[in-house]
Amino acid sequence: MTKFKLGLIVGSNRRQSINRALAQALGQLGAEHFEPKLIRIDDLPIYNQDLEAALPASVTRFKAEVEAADAILFVTPEHSRSIPAVLKSAIDWGTRPWGKNSWTGKTAAVTGTSQGAVATAVAQQHLRAVLGDIGMVVMGGEAYISFKPGLVDERHVVTDASVRAFLQAFLDQLAALTAKLTAKVVPRAAA
């Protein structure tokens, strides 16, 4: 079976990011359906329309990697009860220049982890709204992962069996949605 190309985008540029650790674990967990690729955003400049005249190499690379993916999985922390600025800026680069939106028509799923009690719920709500507005097909459901030390081990394995099973079902759902979206339309027989 051909696997879908899954772009993993982490909403944190922190070296020890717990969301990057979770994203790496998700890449591994979804290996049955997906060929995962971590799409970095930490080398992108903050979005500035002046730079569109000669796109920086990092932006060109980022947009090409997004365009090559069948589905994008966003794994993000919450900053000040919303989307981290570094992620919002990357999303804006993906929509530009005008007429060159790299996100259009791709499936998107959103998750994230934090040590906080509501574990990224507000950031995820804001992010889902933005992704719908820029033309992505956003998977329903919710995946708020409460982070405890050791949740993801050094081999990128989710150590808690119930969290692992939950995330496996989440990835299965994303694969099913992506399959529907990428299915070939059979032409109608002529009357």
Ligand X SMILES: Cc1cc2nc3c(=O)[nH]c(=O)nc-3n(C[C@H](O)[C@H](O)[C@H](O)COP(=O)(O)O)c2cc1C
Query: Would you tell me which residues interact with ligand X (CB under 6 A)?
Result: 12, 14, 17-19, 77-81, 114, 116
Residue 106 near residue 68 (C-beta atoms within 8 A):
no
What is the nearest approach in angstroms of ligand X to the Cβ of residue 8? 13
Q: Residue 48 is which amino acid?
A: N
What is the nearest approach in angstroms of ligand X to the Cβ of residue 100? 29
Closest residue to ligand X using C-beta atoms: 116
100/148 with CB nearer ligand X: 148
Tokens read off for 92: 């804006």
122/137 with CB nearer ligand X: 122
12/102 with CB nearer ligand X: 12
> 150 φ, ψ to 5°?
85, 0
45/116 with CB nearer ligand X: 116
56: preceding bond cis by omega (within 30 degrees): no
Token pair 């990128």 is found at 156
Collapse the DSSP code of 109 into the 3-class scheme (helix H, G, I; strand E, B; otherwise coil) and give the result: strand
Question: CA-to-CA distance for 65 and 37, rounded, in angstroms?
Answer: 9
45: preceding bond cis by omega (within 30 degrees): no
What is the nearest approach in angstroms of ligand X to the Cβ of residue 185? 39
What is the nearest approach in angstroms of ligand X to the Cβ of residue 176? 27
